A and B are shown apart, each in its own frame.
Chain A
Amino acid sequence: MINLTKEKLLSFLIYLASTALGAISFLYPFFTPGLEQNVPLSQVRAGQAPLVYSLLVALCLLVILFEVQSQAVDAKLIALLGMLVAINAALRFIEVAIPGPSGFSPIFFLIILTGYVFGGRFGFLMGTLTLFASALITGGIGPWLPSQMFTVGWVGMSAPLCVPIVRLVRGEGKFSEILVLMVFGALWGLLYGAIINLWSWPYIAGPSAHFYQPGEGWLEAVKHYSIFYMVTSFVWDLGRSFGNVLLILVAGSATLRALRRFKQRFGFSYQPLEGQTV
């Protein structure tokens, strides 16, 4: 018994540490002014920084993946995830087919809903592996992949947060459930874009872009970034948010019913750990 709780504690700490590390790795561009201490070599450090931090994010991703999957060694779950990831990855091709500028991505729909129905860890795997599998299929492995996988994983992992909210408004099976999910999808549509854009910012704007502005701290960097964000990706992200909302509105309830019926019929023994919505 004691071993079991120690294990759970360790798991929890690992989740915490890796998420923290991942988050700060994402946010490092706001902190690089601290690096520019007038030493020419620090510019070199700043040049490597994006790569190093990408690797850190990749590492955090690996750690979380490890924790998440170690509870999911069941054939049914593996097959279910495999098939759903296959469908979601195939859906991603639609992204390319939609004309006009838009960040609309159909993959979030299933990631949010499966995370909601099957639990946070399922959602995390669903998100991460959708991107991984579609990157493999389309030959789209790139330096952005760890950050994307990490963030999308969190979309799925955080979906169970909707559960207590739905319970609060007593909306199971009713339209209010869909409404909650729609809001969730809209929020993540924007948040995802903002986070992912952080990856490209240093490359496009250059970490030492504000080197020559004396007295700049991280607040200035945030301002800089918000402008960068508005210019480059905000419209895109609006498209994504809107797409999520539309999909959940149109297909949400039927899909939820199908997923729930399936879960009940095949008796999944995969229960999310209590307090899993870290």
Chain B
Amino acid sequence: MIHISKLTFRYPASETDVFKNVNLDIEKGEFVLFCGASGIGKSTLLRCMNGLVPHFSGGEILGDIQVAGLNPITASPKVMSRQVGFVFQDPETQFVLDRVEDDIAFSLENAGIPPDEIRDRVNHILALLELSHLRNRTIFSLSGGERQRVAIAAALAFSPSILILDEPTSQLDPQSAEEVLQAVIRIKESLQLTVLLSEHRLDRVLPYADRIIYFKRSDGEVISGSVREILPQMAFSPPVVKLGKQLDWSPLPLSVTEAKSFVSQYHSEHKIAIPSNGKKKHHKPLLKGEHINGGYNGKLVLDDISIEIKAGEILVLIGLNGSGKTTLLRTLVGFQKPKSGQVWLDGREITAGEPAEICRDVGYLPQDPNSLLFAEHVQDELTITLQNHGMRNTNGWTDELMRQLDIYELRGCYPRDLSVGQRQRIALGAILVTRPEVLLLDEPTRGLDPDSKTALEKMLKEWRTQGKAILLVTHDVEMAANLADRVILLQDGRVVSEGDPAYVFTQSNQFAPQMVQLFPDTGWLTVQQTLDGLEKDIL
């Protein structure tokens, strides 16, 4: 179906090749995963398949590529669109018209297809993706998962034989991600598609993939093989896989379900009591919310919530979408006034405070840090915040902060040209420059690749050691497992469970890290803890 031979590409005005001499063969009906760090060329290679590269992007391309019998380089994206459907990453900008039906029909109208046929196809696709009840809704009123499904529907309008998805779930929460990936798997079967999927969150799709194509970093080398062949060679894999690799489980389990059979050999051992979380320091609570009731539009979103964020501690807030996490953060910082309750910062009441004031002492990283950045140079982003607060840049503090955040080399660059991870660090710089003692981060892992996530974890641990009070709202349970000192589970605006991570995670099915699912009641959260624990057990 797809044959690539000696493909080399370089962006215009660039001096290095994005990839060089890539050879690839994909058979009809395969489900292929594209993995590798961000910015390494996966997206570019995928875009070669439907001609976006080089027609949309410009640049120089060499080599041979055949997709469904056509050559994308000579044919245009217009021709390729009949054979290849493409789904992009961002659920906010992937559509042209605002009504679901209209957007799906857009490409068909463009091609001059007769109206009756358009109607049939649209109905068929809507049914296939379980969107029929949403057909008259505006796209902006849909959830992220629903929007991405509409994008998939639009990509399938021409009944192509190949579906390419470029990180379709990286901006979504786990529920929506699950929704989307299930939809992909389902339609692959019913439409007999060849699917190329680029993803970081492998846990859900690994069992269904036929092959992995892995972009090893920097040297542009691309290796391809079956899932179990390539997984061990990859730098990032789900915890279950890492564990299986370490313990030499064979065949390598790809999901928790597959791993359960191996666990039984350990499971018969005695249950281990939940370990205490090491040193129970008595930290000072820096940011406190007491009996907060809040909401908007007549809806009660926060129901009598009390929360304490202590110095030198990372508190993780988890909960389903709509459980009130973001509202709580915004109430703490002053964007929303609670109906009742108080917010205290280091003994001072700030319930009715102005966010601009409060944010000098409470660093708040919103979900989309892009809205923060508008300066010409990275270093200006930091100095602007100082100016806003009327503070001065003493003793090269901004330089030092940039070094800490590993953005010093980028200080003269245009922030919006940089990668997601870099931009996040710049945004962090912009809010940390006032040296706040409390840090609130709202879903910082959205759109981050594994490398950047590791860097973020490192920084958070560093700040914890410095004594900052950190509240982390995240869907990423594995990261929570790595970092959390305490966990709060929020549901329908109420605190349902609070305390030790091991305890809280075992309470909830949806939010259990893979190690907890495999070894419940042991208190092991991370791969390292599991390995240590098993070793201790065996000895």
Contact = CB atoms under 8 A, between A and B. Distances in A.
A267 B376 contact: no
A257 interface: yes
A78 to B, nearest CB: 9
A257 B377 CA distance: 13
Q: How large is the interface on B (under 10, 10 to 19, 20 to 34, 35 or more residues)?
A: under 10
B56 to A, nearest CB: 8
A261 interface: yes
A257 B376 contact: yes
B12 A267 contact: yes
Contacts of A267: 12, 58
Contacts of A257: 376
B399 to A, nearest CB: 25
B414 A261 contact: yes
B381 to A, nearest CB: 14
Contacts of B58: 267
A257 to B, nearest CB: 7
Nearest to A75: B56
Contacts, number: 4
Interface in A124-181: none
Interface string B410-435: 00001000000000000000000000
A261 B12 CA distance: 15
Contacts of B12: 267
Interface in B1-53: 12
Interface in A240-278: 257, 261, 267
B412 to A, nearest CB: 15
A257 B374 CA distance: 12
Interface in B340-390: 376
A190 to B, nearest CB: 33
Contacts of A261: 414
A267 B12 CA distance: 10
Contacts of B414: 261
A240 B304 CA distance: 51
A267 B414 CA distance: 18
A253 B108 CA distance: 42
Nearest to A264: B13
Nearest to A265: B417
Interface string B51-63: 0000000100000
A192 B417 CA distance: 39
A257 B414 CA distance: 12
Interface in B286-324: none
Contacts of B376: 257
A261 B414 CA distance: 10
4 contacts: A257-B376, A261-B414, A267-B12, A267-B58
Interface of B: 12, 58, 376, 414
Interface of A: 257, 261, 267
Q: Which 4 A-B pairs have the closest CB atoms?
A: A267-B58, A267-B12, A257-B376, A261-B414
